Amino acid sequence: MKFLDDVVVCLTAACAAGSSAFVSAAARTMRKTCLMAGLLAVALALLLGGLGLMIAALFIGLTPYMGMHWVAMIAAAAALVGCGIFVAVAMKMSSGS
C-alpha cells in the first residue's frame, strides 16, 4: 500500500505541475494577444484620424484661409506616422521577438 500511496502523490504532483504550466502559458499568450489588439486599435484610431484630417485639409484648402490646410496636413502626417509606429510595435509583439 505504501507504494501506491507514493505513486498517487507523484501523479498528483505531476498533474499540478502540468496544470500550472498550461495556465501560465495561456495567461502569457492572452496578455500578448490583448496587448497586440490594443496597439492595433490605437493604430486604427490614428489612421482614421489622419484620414479625417486629410479630408478636412482638402475642404479647408478650397476656402479662402490659405494657410490652415497645411496645418491639417502636417497633423494628418503625424497621425499616420504614429499609426505606423503602433502597427510596427504590434507586429513585433505578434512575432514573439
Cα–Cα distance measured from residue 6 to residue 9, given in angstroms and rounded to the nearest whole number: 5
- Taking residues 7-17, report their average pLDDT: 82
Average pLDDT over residues 5-23: 82
Q: How many CA atoms lie within 13 A of 48 on its CB side?
A: 6
DSSP state of 96: T
Q: Return the pLDDT at 96.
A: 63
CA–CA separation, 27 and 23 (whole Å): 6
- Say whether pLDDT at 97 is over 60: no
| Per-residue pLDDT reduced to its tens digit, 40-74 | 888 888 888 888 877 777 777 766 666 677 777 78
Please give the pLDDT value at position 60: 72
CB of 41 closer than 8 Å to CB of 77: no
pLDDT (0 to 100) of residue 1: 66
Residue type, 92: K
Note the pLDDT of residue 82.
83
